[in-house]
Amino acid sequence: MQHNLTNIDLAVLVFYFAFMASMGWVFRRFIRNTSDYFRSGGEVLWWIVGAGAFMTSFSAVTFTGMAGKAYDDGPLVLVIFLGNAIGFFFNWLYFAPVFRQMRCVTAMQAVRERFGRINEQFFTWLQIPTGLMYAAIWLNGLGVFVAAAFGWNLEFTIILTGTVVVFISVVGGSWSSTASDFVQLLLLMPVTLVAAAFALAQVGGVANFVQRAPSHFWNWTEAAHGNIIALWVIAMLLQKFVSTNTMTDAARYLSVKDTTHARRAALLATVMFLIGSCVWFIPPMVCRILQPDLKTMFPNLAKPQDASYFAIAMIAMPQGMLGILLSAIFAATMSSMDSGLNKNAGYFIKNFYQVAIRPRATERELVAASMVCTAGFGALIILIALKFASWRHLTIFELMVNFGNWVALPISVPLVWGLFIRRAPDWAAWSAVLVGLTTSFLTNRLLNAEWAANLLGYRLNPREASDWATLAGSLMNILAGSGWFLLATLLAPRQSPSVQHRVQHFFVKMHTPVDFDREHGQGSDNLQAYVMGLLCLIYGGFITLLAAVPNTLWGRLAFAFCGLVMAVIGWMLYRAGTRGRRTAAGLKRRPDQAVTTLMQRQALR
């Protein structure tokens, strides 16, 4: 069954891609060196970085694989996003300021300062393929969603959408990817709120939704034993805490202006995850009520439940809104992919190419090499996503979660402990990763569902077997990696004076607040607000104009809501940026008079 978009939907998509491409062109002017290309010069304001931290923590998998999990199992999937919110809350409490205060261009430079050059190369060459794998999973998830939307072949969709995403990613560096995340946040949140509202209206309101939903949505023990569910919840929360607070994820805060801005950015991401998790999975759960057999609706998809979000959107959304929803889904993956490509290119260029191949390379050469590297990594991502698409037996949700548990988690564990334990030797980091990867292999082979059945005394159903694989991988990796790292710390001999000095310098710097004015000089606060405000006004104005499309009153109001949220925020930023630039210009031209004017205005207030 093929599902065609209207001409209005297609026009919305064309505008979205043209707008995102133009952002890359606009922010090219901000790039002067590799610090600008990879971390935006360390001067980005908190509300931009917070939006980026939020947007890069999920992708189209949220609206495909995770939605498929919600379609099958109900609100249990919210545990994963609650884990994200908890992880970012700890970012706010401690990790975000610490990450910014590392004062590095890439996270691997922080690894070098903490654990030495061997670990820098070890983690660089682990992180690059891991990052490519994650991006391929995101692209595969996007391909599933778009394939359902257009009725195209999944593999063709991955190639086409991947090419578009990579092209946009290569255009600009960290400036364009970080700034575009803010605009895409203002696109994503309103349209998903609208989708949830229309889905609930379609099923007759909240009371009817609760009453008509399958009973196992609310009584979790109907689908699985309580001890399996409890262990799965604990494993997911721990996994999200580790993955959100590891040293490799310091990259999200290296671009923020200072310590205070880093903390505010983390708090914004926390709030966004709390809001998002409450509304994102209403549509797929409603779809389970209205469309209990999605195979008849999407016969060409191996896992039709992964298209449940789109299925309910086709039924409930007003004319033209589907194009905005698809743009938001593209935004979810593009924000993750462009930042991931930029981060991995940074690892290759700053931690390998400049260190081992071209130590005397000019900044211009390094920036050009970074663009070429980003394009090459993008091509690899497309190829890996095509391979994932051929694994028809594995759902996107399982692919995402299992990869995170079996591969990414062992890499993360020592890079969390290393932020607290100063006495840990350098070899504790790389050896803990090897122990974790070995644990993943042995757990997958030996502590499987059959072993769990013998241990627990009952046979696991398919749902329980999948959950067991996930929780066993998470808990065993955290326990084995942490145990080995702590044991290495206890058994290691006293470190040499040079190593002690390096580690001491790292911790002192890590706990020294950033004084932006003294360390960087004049920032670009007003220019950022001015440019971002102008861009939001343009995009918000376009969406608001779509209220003129023939629709019901509620349909017109939905367009007006989505457009005005972005336009009003854009106007506030534009106004603040314009005032700031005028004030700065006055201070520059006639400092004494400008200061007097400011004092007079303050007195009048």
CATH of the domain at 217: 1.20.1730.10
The answer to whether residue 25 is domain-embedded is no
246-259 burial, b at 16+ Cβ within 10 Å, e below that, comes to bbbbbbbbbbbbbb
Let me know the angle formed at the C-alpha of 258 by 257 and 260, rounded to the nearest 5 degrees.
120
- Residue 431: burial class (beta carbons within 10 Å; 0-12, 13-18, 19+): middle
- Quick one: pLDDT band at residue 303, thresholds 50, 70, 90? confident
Q: What is the distance of C-alpha 49 from the center of its chain?
A: 12
The answer to whether residue 594 is domain-embedded is no
User: Is residue 430 scored above 80 in pLDDT?
Assistant: yes
- pLDDT for 197: 95
The answer to whether residue 207 is domain-embedded is yes
- Is the separation of the CB atoms in 510 and 98 below 8 Å? yes
At residue 237, φ and ψ (nearest 5 deg) are -65, -40
Q: Which helix (DSSP H) or strand (DSSP E) does residue 108 occupy?
A: helix 107-115
- Is the separation of the CB atoms in 367 and 175 below 8 Å? no
At residue 154, φ and ψ (nearest 5 deg) are -60, -45
Alpha carbon distances (Å) from 86 to 89, 98, 342: 5, 17, 26
For 69, the 3-state DSSP assignment is: helix
- Residue 123: burial class (beta carbons within 10 Å; 0-12, 13-18, 19+): buried
Give strand pairing partners of 256: 44
The answer to whether residue 187 is domain-embedded is yes
Contact partners, residue 437, CB within 8 Å, separation at least 6: 407, 410
Mean residue pLDDT across the chain: 86
174 vs 537, more confident: 537
Question: Tokens 């959100």 label which residue?
Answer: 244
pTM, rounded to two decimals: 0.87
Contact partners, residue 560, CB within 8 Å, separation at least 6: 544, 547
Dump pLDDT digits (tens) for 334-362.
777 777 788 888 899 999 999 989 999 99
Domain span at 447: 38-515
**Nearest in space to 79 (alpha carbons), one of 277, 280, 246, 283:** 277
The answer to whether residue 593 is domain-embedded is no
For 40, left (φ over 0), alpha (ψ -120 to 50), or beta?
left
- Quick one: pLDDT band at residue 601, thresholds 50, 70, 90? very low
**Spatial separation of the C-alpha atoms in residues 416 and 243, rounded to whole Å:** 9
- pLDDT for 100: 95
- pLDDT for 408: 82
Query: What DSSP designation does 350 have?
Result: I
Mean pLDDT to the nearest integer, 267-278? 92
Give me the sign of the Cα torsion angle 450, 453, 459, 464. negative
In this structure, the number of other CB atoms found within 10 A of the CB of residue 142 comes to 28
Alpha carbon distances (Å) from 159 to 16, 312, 390, 567: 19, 26, 14, 34
**Spatial separation of the C-alpha atoms in residues 246 and 91, rounded to whole Å:** 10
- pLDDT for 596: 40
User: Is residue 561 scored above 80 in pLDDT?
Assistant: yes
Of 31-40, 316-325, 556-565, 585-594, where does mean pLDDT reach its minimum? 585-594
Domain count, the chain: 1
- Is the separation of the CB atoms in 334 and 171 below 8 Å? no
User: Is residue 318 scored above 50 in pLDDT?
Assistant: yes
User: Is residue 396 scored above 80 in pLDDT?
Assistant: no
- pLDDT for 22: 83
The answer to whether residue 3 is domain-embedded is no
- Quick one: pLDDT band at residue 391, thresholds 50, 70, 90? low
Dump pLDDT digits (tens) for 444-497.
889 988 999 998 888 998 888 988 988 998 899 999 999 999 999 999 998 999
Which stretches within 447-552 are classed as H helix?
A: 449-456, 462-491, 497-510, 516-519, 525-545
Q: Which two tokens stand for residue 581?
A: 């630039």
Q: Which two tokens stand for residue 81?
A: 């996003």
**Spatial separation of the C-alpha atoms in residues 42 and 40, rounded to whole Å:** 5
